[in-house]
Structure 1
Amino acid sequence: MKINPIYSLLTFVLGVTFTFQSCTDLDEELFSDITADNFFQTEEEFISALGRAYQSLAGLGNHSGLWSINELASDEIVIATKGGDWFDGGVLLQLHQHEFLPDNPFFQNSWNFLYGGINNCNRLILSFEQLDNPNSAAFIAELRALRVLFYYWAMDAFGNIPLVIDFTATESPTNSSRQDIYNFLQSELAEIIPLLPVAKDGTTYGRMTKWAALMIRMKLYLNAEVYTGTPRWTEAAADAEEIIYNGPFNLEPVYRDNFVINNASSNENILVYPYDKVFAHGFNWVMMTLHIASQFSFNLTEQPWNGYQTVQEFYNSYVDPDQNPGTQGPVWKGLALEQTDGTIDGRLSNFLVGPQYRDDGSRLEDPGVEPLDPTGRNGDPDGPPVTFMPYINEIWPNGLRQSGARIGKYEFERGGTANMSNDFVIFRLGDAILSLAEAKYRLGDTGEALDLVNQIRERAGNLDPFTTLDDEKLLAERGREMYVEMTRRQDLIRFKKYGSAWWPYQGMNRPKRVHSTGSHLELFPIPEPQLLANPNLKQNPGYN
Structure 2
Amino acid sequence: MVLAIATFSLHSCTDDLEKVPLNEATADVHFTSVTAYKQSLAGAYSRMAYSTFLRYYWSMQEYSTDMAVSTWNDGGDGIYHELAWSADSPAIANVYTSALTMITLCNDFINQSSDELLTKRGFFGADVAEIKKFQAEARYLRAYCFWILMDCYGNPPFPTEKTLAKSYPPQIKRADLFKFIESELKELDVLLVEPKTNELGRPDKAAAWALLSRMYLNARVYTGEERNTDAITYCNKIINSGYSLESNYAWLMLGDNHLNTNEFIFTINYDNTNKTWYSTNFLALGPAGVPASINGMSGSWSAFRFTQQVPALFPSASPTIDKRALFYTTGQTLEVNKVTTSTDGYSAYKYRNVKRDGTPLTQNNSFGNLSDIDFPVFRLAEIYLTYAEAVLRGGAGGSNATALAYINKIRGRAYANNPSSTSGNISAAALTLDFILDERARELYWETHRRTDLVRYNKLTTGTYLWAWKGGVKAGTAVDSKYNLFPIPTSDLLVNPNLKQIDGF
TM, length-normalised to structure 1:
0.77
Do structure 1's residue 177 and structure 2's residue 168 form an aligned pair? no
Residue 108 of structure 1: aligned partner: 93
State the 1:47 CA deviation. 1.9
The alpha-carbon distance between structure 1 residues 60 and 131, as it changes in their structure 2 partners (threshold 3 A), is same
Residue 344 of structure 2: aligned partner: 403
The alpha-carbon distance between structure 1 residues 14 and 494, as it changes in their structure 2 partners (threshold 3 A), is closer
How far apart, in 2, do the equivalents of 1:38 and 1:48 lie? 10
How far apart, in 1, do the equivalents of 2:374 and 2:105 lie? 22
How far apart, in 2, do the equivalents of 1:160 and 1:140 lie? 26
Do structure 1's residue 391 and structure 2's residue 335 form an aligned pair? yes
The alpha-carbon distance between structure 1 residues 313 and 110, as it changes in their structure 2 partners (threshold 3 A), is same
Q: Give the 5 Å matches for 1:239-318.
A: 239-245=234-240, 247-266=241-260, 267-279=262-274, 281=276, 282-283=278-279, 284-285=281-282, 286-291=284-289, 294=291, 300=297, 304-318=300-314
Identical residues among aligned pairs (%):
29
State the 1:198 CA deviation. 1.2
Contact 1:99–1:516 under 8 Å retained in 2? no
State the 1:62 CA deviation. 6.9
State the 1:61 CA deviation. 7.2
CA deviation map 1:356-405 (0-9, x unaligned): xxxxxxxxxxxxxxxxxxxxxxxxxxxxxxx233332222xxx4332222
Any gaps of 5 or more consecutive residues in structure 2?
7-16, 355-359, 417-422
Q: What's the secondary structure of 1:251's corresponding residue?
A: coil
How far apart, in 2, do the equivalents of 1:143 and 1:509 lie? 39
Residue 441 of structure 2: aligned partner: 479
CA RMSD of the aligned region, Å? Answer: 3.1
* One-letter amino acid matched to 1:176: I
Which among 374, 380, 383 is matched to residue 423 of structure 1? 374
Do structure 1's residue 231 and structure 2's residue 226 form an aligned pair? yes
The alpha-carbon distance between structure 1 residues 204 and 36, as it changes in their structure 2 partners (threshold 3 A), is farther
Contact 1:13–1:52 under 8 Å retained in 2? yes
State the 1:289 CA deviation. 2.4
How far apart, in 2, do the equivalents of 1:298 and 1:254 lie? 17
Residue 465 of structure 1: aligned partner: 425
The alpha-carbon distance between structure 1 residues 64 and 458, as it changes in their structure 2 partners (threshold 3 A), is closer
Residue 450 of structure 2: aligned partner: 488
Do structure 1's residue 194 and structure 2's residue 190 form an aligned pair? yes
Q: Give the 5 Å matches for 1:509-520.
A: 514-520=476-482
Residue 9 of structure 2: aligned partner: none
Q: What's the secondary structure of 1:191's corresponding residue?
A: helix
CA deviation map 1:140-162 (0-9, x unaligned): 22211111011011110001011
Contact 1:64–1:106 under 8 Å retained in 2? no
Residue 452 of structure 1: aligned partner: 406
State the 1:336 CA deviation. 5.4
CA deviation map 1:186-217 (0-9, x unaligned): 1111111111011525x421011101111111
State the 1:429 CA deviation. 0.6
CA deviation map 1:506-525 (0-9, x unaligned): 9x996797345233221111
Which among 489, 500, 504 is matched to residue 538 of structure 1? 500
State the 1:280 CA deviation. 5.7
Q: What's the secondary structure of 1:461's corresponding residue?
A: helix
Residue 70 of structure 1: aligned partner: 61
Which among 31, 39, 49 is matched to residue 48 of structure 1? 39
How far apart, in 2, do the equivalents of 1:217 and 1:279 lie? 32
The alpha-carbon distance between structure 1 residues 191 and 391, as it changes in their structure 2 partners (threshold 3 A), is same
CA deviation map 1:302-356 (0-9, x unaligned): x643111112111221135xxxxxxxxxxxxxx6554xxxxx101123x3x133x
How far apart, in 2, do the equivalents of 1:183 and 1:108 lie? 25
Residue 205 of structure 1: aligned partner: 200
- How many residues are treated as equivalent by the alignment? 458
Q: What's the secondary structure of 1:221's corresponding residue?
A: helix
How far apart, in 2, do the equivalents of 1:62 and 1:537 lie? 23
TM, length-normalised to structure 2:
0.82
Compare CA radii of gyration and give the structure with the larger one: 1
Which among 302, 311, 329 is matched to residue 354 of structure 1? 329
* One-letter amino acid matched to 1:492: L
* One-letter amino acid matched to 1:56: R
Contact 2:62–2:448 under 8 Å retained in 1? yes
Residue 367 of structure 1: aligned partner: none
How far apart, in 2, do the equivalents of 1:261 and 1:299 lie? 9
